[in-house]
């Protein structure tokens, strides 16, 4: 099953609509969608390494704009839209903890949590719910998301075929490690 999903992601990554899908997924993940854009960004760069920087730019800008939507949801639509999303992830406690951490640490929360594999939507919704200032929020989001996606692009650009071979030969281990990173990120969100 993993092999089919991986092959499908590579096919989608090479399609003429791949950039549009990357933008949609990056935008959506920052405000409500559960799948991170890395799932498409990585195979897209592996399929067309010369466009690595372009794809990282599209992913970054789309994620930051989606983060703005997440901030709006948290600031103005918390009870109507944000709480059902938070409830879906069983993250009510994490949202409250993030709101409190915004009051204490401000922009550092966005900078640190935006680099981790935790869903960025938690950060964006919590920052809106805490009514964190919009300009520092957008600036920090641009920095942290840019760093994350451009580091991925640089690694895949430099080590493309060996990384692709590694992924294909050890697909179960790579998928397991990715899932553990997400779980670890959610755990860190709760306790850090």
The burial of 150, by beta-carbon neighbours within 10 Å (0-12 exposed, 13-18 middle, 19 or more buried), is given as middle
As a whole number of Å, the end-to-end CA separation of the chain is: 35
Neighbours of 32 (CB within 10 A): 20
Task: Report the SS3 class of residue 27.
Answer: helix
Considering its fold, how many domains does the chain have in total? 1
- Distance, in Å, from the CA atom of 180 to the CA atom of 184, rounded to the nearest integer, reads 6
Digit-coded pLDDT (tens) for 80-103: 887 887 788 787 887 778 778 777
- Distance, in Å, from the CA atom of 4 to the CA atom of 35, rounded to the nearest integer, reads 17
What domain range is 38 assigned to?
2-191
Digit-coded pLDDT (tens) for 116-163: 767 788 889 888 988 889 999 999 999 999 998 998 899 889 888 777
């Amino acid at each position: 099953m993993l092999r089919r999903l991986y092959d499908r992601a590579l096919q989608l990554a090479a399609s003429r609509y791949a950039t549009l899908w990357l933008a949609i997924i990056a935008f959506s993940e920052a405000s409500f969608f559960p799948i991170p854009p890395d799932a498409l960004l990585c195979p897209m760069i592996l399929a067309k390494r010369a466009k690595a920087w372009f794809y990282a730019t599209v992913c970054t800008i789309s994620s930051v704009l989606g983060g703005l939507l997440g901030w709006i949801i948290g600031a103005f639509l918390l009870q109507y839209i944000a709480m059902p999303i938070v409830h879906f992830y069983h993250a009510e406690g994490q949202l409250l903890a993030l709101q409190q951490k915004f009051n204490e640490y401000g922009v550092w929360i966005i900078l640190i949590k935006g680099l981790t594999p935790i869903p960025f939507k938690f950060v964006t919704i919590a920052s809106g719910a805490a009514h964190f200032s919009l300009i520092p929020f957008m600036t920090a989001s641009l920095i942290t998301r840019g760093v994350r996606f451009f580091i991925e692009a640089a690694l895949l650009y430099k080590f493309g075929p060996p990384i692709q071979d590694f992924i294909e030969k050890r697909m179960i281990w790579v998928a397991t490690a990715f899932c553990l990173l997400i779980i670890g990120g959610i755990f860190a969100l709760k306790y850090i």
